[in-house]
Chains A and B, each alone.
Chain A
Amino acid sequence: MIKKALAVLLLAQLCTILFSFLSVYQEPTSLNAVSSHYIHNEPKELGAANAVTAVVVTYRGLDTLGEVTILFAASVVVGLLMFLHKNESAPRRDGSELLKTGASLLFPLILLFGAYVFINGHLSPGGGFQGGAIIASALMLTILANPNRHVGHGFFWAIESISGFVFVLLGIAGLVLAGGFLDSRVLPPGTFGHVASAGLIPVIYIFVGLKVGAELSSVVLSLHGKSEGGVQHHD
Chain B
Amino acid sequence: MEIFLIIFAVLTVASALIAVATTKKAVSILAAGVMGLFASIVFIFLAAPDVAMTEAAIGSGLTTFIFFFALNRVKSDRAQGGADD
Contacts and interface: CB of A to CB of B under 8 A. Distances in A.
A49 to B, nearest CB: 12
A129 B58 contact: yes
Interface string B52-85: 1110011001100110011011001101100010
Contact of A130 (B53, B70, B84): B53
Nearest to B67: A223
Given A133-B62, A136-B62, A223 B70 contact: yes
Contacts of A133: 54, 57-58, 61-62
Given A134-B57, A137-B61, A223-B66, A90 B76 contact: yes
Contacts of A137: 57, 61-62, 65
Contacts of B72: 92
Given A126-B53, A133-B57, A90 B65 contact: no
Contacts of A53: 50
Interface of A: 50, 52-53, 88, 90, 92, 117, 125-127, 129-130, 133-134, 136-137, 140, 216, 219-220, 223-225
13 contacts: A53-B50, A90-B76, A90-B80, A125-B50, A126-B53, A130-B50, A130-B57, A133-B61, A134-B57, A137-B65, A223-B69, A223-B73, A224-B73
